[in-house]
Amino acid sequence: MDPGGTRGLSRVHRHLGGEAKTLNLSKYISLRVINVDAYQSVGIRRRMKRFFRRDGRALIFAMDHGFEHGPTDFEPVWEHVNPKVIIKKVTRAGVDGVMMLPGIARVAADEVRGRKGLMIKLTSKTALRPRDGQLLQSQLGYVEDAIKLGADAIAATVYWGSPAEDVMMRQFAEVANYAHDLGFPVVQFAYPRGPYINEKYGKKEDYRVVMYGARAAAETGADMIKTYWTGSKETFAKVVDAAAGVPVLLSGGAKTENPLDFLRVVSGVVEAGGAGAVVGRNIFQRENPEPMIKALLRVIHRNEEPEDAAKAEGLL
């Protein structure tokens, strides 16, 4: 991918009928930059609204687990291995958006109906890789692929602190630069992980590490940030502050056996100023995901207490 340099000039070259080498392009390019600046901000704002309600919060369903973890993640409720089945259920239950990889988007993006955002993630890895390759997310596709699939936002992961940090940082910069040029918001899955983190901080969820990753995501141009829970609303509030106004969403993580435990975490995120959650296993590993989704929506959008939301949806 070319983040707007050579690729941008090639578009100019075609527009001018191949005469770019002999013409003074400075005026053309300066006008183009002004127009891009004006249009891209409008496009980004409009597309962000497809995920976030007026309260500035969102519940987004995550569907990249079949690739990153393997189909065994769906064994608790095997019919959900079919993306059309689970995406139809979650959209009917009222999620604000859906995140998936390009291949599954080709199969199931038509199920994301109504005023719901579609987020396409362009980097990933399998759990089959050797251990020394697990700290790198590789590129699966390009910004043009996501746009052709109808994406409203484009996502990529950076493992801050990984030995391969520079590779993922460069991937994200290229995605963000080109997507922004076309008016598309970019989401960074800011996941600090690596041997130095474990050595110095003990765990990747230490608020100092998560806070650093959130700030790095903001510094590299993210329009949304997905990251870890830090264990308390007080420490997560520092993560939100460090993101400098970029919306921070919780990474849902492993399924909790007691739904109330997860609702309490999400409530803590909201109380800390977080913008909601991106949730996969806590939804698709439940036989009937609708009550959990509706309870999450109560917590995120209505500020209901977790216990009240759980009771209202029959989870207690």
Task: Convert the pLDDT of each residue in 138-185 to its tens digit.
Answer: 999 999 999 999 999 999 999 999 999 999 999 999 999 999 999 999
Distance CA 99, CA 267 (A): 22
**Is residue 192, in this structure, part of any structural domain at all?**
yes
What pLDDT shows up at residue 311?
A: 98
Instruction: Please give the residue that has the higher pLDDT: either 221 or 21.
Output: 221
Distance CA 109, CA 88 (A): 10
- Confidence check: pLDDT of 289 > 70: yes
Distance CA 121, CA 295 (A): 26
Looking only at the bridges linking them, the beta strands covering 138-139 and 123-124 are antiparallel
**Is residue 67, in this structure, part of any structural domain at all?**
yes
**Is residue 205, in this structure, part of any structural domain at all?**
yes
Distance CA 144, CA 258 (A): 41
**Is residue 19, in this structure, part of any structural domain at all?**
no
Tell me, yes or no, if 294 is annotated catalytic. no
Instruction: Identify residue 203 by its one-letter amino acid code.
Output: K
Residues ≥6 apart with Cβ < 8 Å to 299: 263, 266, 267, 270, 306, 309
Phi–psi pair at 242, nearest 5 degrees:
-65, -25
Instruction: Identify residue 197 by its one-letter amino acid code.
Output: I
Which residue intervals of the chain are DSSP H helices?
Answer: 6-15, 26-48, 65-68, 83-93, 102-108, 143-148, 165-181, 195-201, 207-219, 233-242, 259-271, 281-284, 290-302, 306-312
Alpha-carbon separation of residue 283 from 47, 72, 180 (angstroms): 25, 15, 31
Instruction: Identify residue 225 by its one-letter amino acid code.
Output: I
Task: State whether residue 115 is helix, strand or coil.
Answer: coil
Q: Which candidate, 219, 168, 189, places its Cα nearest to that of 121?
A: 189
Number of domains present in the structure of the chain: 1
pTM of the complete model:
0.87
**Is residue 225, in this structure, part of any structural domain at all?**
yes
Which of the 8 DSSP states describes residue 185? Answer: -
CATH number of the domain that residue 146 is part of: 3.20.20.70
What percentage of the chain exceeds 90 in pLDDT?
A: 83
Mean pLDDT, range 250-278, rounded to an integer: 98
Q: What is the pLDDT of residues 13-27, one digit of tens each?
A: 333 344 444 445 455
What pLDDT shows up at residue 114?
A: 83
What pLDDT shows up at residue 35?
A: 52
Radius of gyration of the chain (CA): 20
- The whole-angstrom distance between residue 231's C-alpha and the CA centroid of its chain comes to 21
Mean pLDDT, range 232-242, rounded to an integer: 98
Alpha-carbon separation of residue 65 from 6, 73, 202, 248 (angstroms): 35, 7, 26, 21
When pLDDT is cut at 50, 70 and 90, the band that residue 6 belongs to is: very low
Mean pLDDT, range 254-264, rounded to an integer: 97
Q: Which candidate, 244, 301, 291, places its Cα nearest to that of 269?
A: 301
State the SS3 of 194-220.
CHHHHHHHCCCCCHHHHHHHHHHHHHC
Which one from 89, 121, 204, 226 is the annotated catalytic residue?
A: 226
**Is residue 8, in this structure, part of any structural domain at all?**
no
Beta partners for residue 248, in sequence order: 225
What pLDDT shows up at residue 14?
A: 35
Of 72-81, 133-142, 197-206, 219-228, give the lowest mean pLDDT range: 197-206
- Confidence check: pLDDT of 87 > 90: yes
**Is residue 63, in this structure, part of any structural domain at all?**
yes
**Is residue 307, in this structure, part of any structural domain at all?**
no
Mean pLDDT, range 222-251, rounded to an integer: 98
Mean pLDDT, range 185-204, rounded to an integer: 92
Distance CA 186, CA 281 (A): 23
Residues ≥6 apart with Cβ < 8 Å to 241: 273
Domain enclosing residue 155, as ranges: 25-259+277-288
**Surface-to-core class of residue 18, CB atoms within 10 Å of its CB (0-12 exposed, 13-18 middle, 19+ buried):** exposed
> Tokens representing 130?
């050797």
